[in-house]
């Protein structure tokens, strides 16, 4: 009981899950809305993984979709080509899904390390360019893998639908807490030190190369999980889905939400995945308005919507400018009213 009292967010997580599931069951939220919610969960995982590189370690990566594609293709190739999942009983299907997701994530992790180690020679914009290059090279590899195994240029079809809202939601929470723990661990603190000043961190005895490699590996692992979820949710993947445009989407989510903050990444991904769907009534103009809103966010809140704050429920010890308690919000609202009253008084 005291666990729940100390961690009031745990029952809330369960409650959110139950609300969405029940609303879907009783037909209030149709499958289309649920699809958007599930995709939002996956994009939150991706943005968190990008936050480890861009936000915590200060390595700008433009190739996150490449890691995602590795996770997606490896896991989907196993379930589609090598084993027959549909003939298994439901329990085995679940076990199989978790196993292939982990395999996909581990392969993505290995690829991440292989890419990260040589790329570490470069800094700043050049690292971003090289990761972008690797992302496009990986995409080209999926294009030329024989059609029998990975569908080549037609894309991989007939992937069994193993992921559902439960898995997306669960993995999202796991990813968020994994990032939280990473940030609070000695590795995460070392990464933050490298971000703030690499030379100073080096002189303080932090092994920069090792910690950058760890950051790449963790980030690629989480991206691989997101890729596997993506493949088993949409049951169809194509090399062009994981293009540079996808990577830049995640980058935009991260920076619009607030770089370096786990809550910011979460909020940015959620808001910018849902926003185009809300704007759907605008028809052709919806992405124009989306682009405009994006520009407005970036121009008027250059530190992101959340400005480096963290939700209090994450209980972070490091990082984050200011913890965002619920009371912060109420204070802000009260202040707003007070200002209104003051203005009214001066007007009189």
Partner 1 sequence: MANFLQLLVYGFQLGSIYALLAIGYSMVFGIIKMINMAHCDFLMMGCYIVYFLVTVVFGGAELIGPAVALLIILLGSSAIGMVGVGIERVAYRPLRKRPTIMCMISAIGVSIFTQNLFRALPFIGPTPRYFPVLIEDFTVNVGPVGISFTRIITIILAIIIMLILWYVIENTKIGMQMRAVSNDKDAASLMGVNINRVISATFFIGAFLAAVSGTFYATAYPVVQPTMAVALGNKAFIAAVVGGIGDIRGAVLGGFVIGITEILITSVWSAIAYGFCFLVLIIILLFKPEGLLGKPMTEKV
Residues 304-323 contacting partner 1, CB under 8 A = none
Q: With H, G, I as helix, E, B as strand and everything else as coil, classify residue 323.
A: strand
Q: Among 255, 306, 311, 313, which residue interacts with partner 1 (rule: CB under 8 A)?
A: 255
Asked if 15 touches partner 1 (CB under 8 A), the answer is no
| Residue 243: CB minimum distance to partner 1, A | 9
Asked if 230 touches partner 1 (CB under 8 A), the answer is no
Selection from 323, 338, 330, 308 nearest residue 56 by Cα: 308
Are 271 and 305 in contact by the 8 Å Cβ rule? The answer is yes
Q: Output the DSSP codes for 12-36.
A: HHHHHHHHHHHHHHTTSS-HHHHHH
Residue listed under structure tokens 């704050």: 309
Q: Which is nearer to partner 1, 199 or 345 (CB)?
A: 199
Q: Among 23, 83, 279, 298, which residue interacts with partner 1 (rule: CB under 8 A)?
A: 298
User: Residue 324 pairs with which residues in a beta bridge?
Assistant: 311
Q: Among 72, 76, 128, 162, which residue interacts with partner 1 (rule: CB under 8 A)?
A: 128
| Residue 153: CB minimum distance to partner 1, A | 7
Q: Output the DSSP codes for 192-223.
A: HHHHH-HHHHHHTT--HHHHHHHHHHHHHHHH
Q: Among 33, 244, 307, 321, which residue interacts with partner 1 (rule: CB under 8 A)?
A: 244
Are 103 and 75 in contact by the 8 Å Cβ rule? The answer is yes
d(CA 208, CA 216): 12
How many residues make up the chain in this entry? 348
Q: Which is nearer to partner 1, 95 or 147 (CB)?
A: 147
Asked if 126 touches partner 1 (CB under 8 A), the answer is yes
Catalog residues that contact partner 1 under the rule CB under 8 A: 54, 60, 118-119, 121-123, 125-126, 128-130, 132-134, 136-137, 139-141, 143-144, 153, 199, 244-245, 248, 251-252, 255-256, 284-285, 287-288, 290-292, 294-295, 298-299, 302
């Amino acid at each position: 009981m005291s666990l729940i009292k100390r961690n009031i967010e745990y029952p809330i997580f369960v409650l959110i899950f139950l609300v969405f599931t029940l609303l879907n069951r009783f037909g209030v939220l149709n499958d289309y809305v649920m699809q958007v919610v599930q995709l939002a969960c996956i994009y939150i995982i991706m943005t968190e993984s990008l936050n480890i590189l861009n936000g915590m370690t200060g390595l700008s990566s433009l190739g996150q979709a490449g890691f995602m594609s590795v996770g997606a293709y490896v896991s989907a190739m196993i379930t589609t080509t090598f084993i027959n999942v549909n003939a298994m009983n439901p329990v085995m299907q679940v076990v199989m899904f978790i196993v292939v997701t982990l395999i996909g994530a581990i392969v993505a992790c290995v690829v991440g390390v292989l890419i990260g180690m040589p790329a570490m020679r470069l800094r700043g914009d050049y690292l971003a360019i090289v990761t972008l290059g690797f992302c496009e090279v990986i995409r080209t590899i999926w294009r030329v893998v024989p059609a029998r195994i990975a569908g080549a240029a037609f894309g991989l079809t007939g992937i069994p639908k193993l992921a559902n809202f439960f898995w997306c939601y669960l993995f999202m929470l796991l990813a968020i807490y994994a990032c939280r723990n990473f940030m609070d661990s000695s590795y995460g603190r070392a990464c933050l030190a490298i971000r703030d000043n690499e030379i100073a961190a080096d002189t303080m005895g932090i092994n920069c190369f090792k910690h950058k490699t760890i950051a790449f590996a963790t980030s690629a692992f989480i991206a691989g999980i997101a890729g596997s979820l993506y493949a088993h949710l949409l049951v169809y993947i194509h090399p062009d889905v994981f293009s540079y445009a996808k990577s830049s989407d995640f980058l935009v989510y991260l920076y619009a939400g607030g770089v370096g903050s786990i809550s910011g990444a979460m909020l940015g991904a959620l808001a910018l995945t849902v926003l185009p769907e809300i704007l759907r009534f605008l028809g052709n103009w919806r992405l124009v308005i989306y682009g405009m809103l994006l520009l407005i966010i970036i121009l008027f809140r250059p530190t992101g919507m959340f400005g480096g704050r963290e939700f209090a429920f994450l209980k972070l010890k490091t990082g984050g400018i200011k913890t965002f308690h619920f009371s912060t919000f109420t204070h802000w609202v009260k202040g707003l009213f007070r200002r209104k009253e003051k203005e009214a008084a001066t007007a009189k």
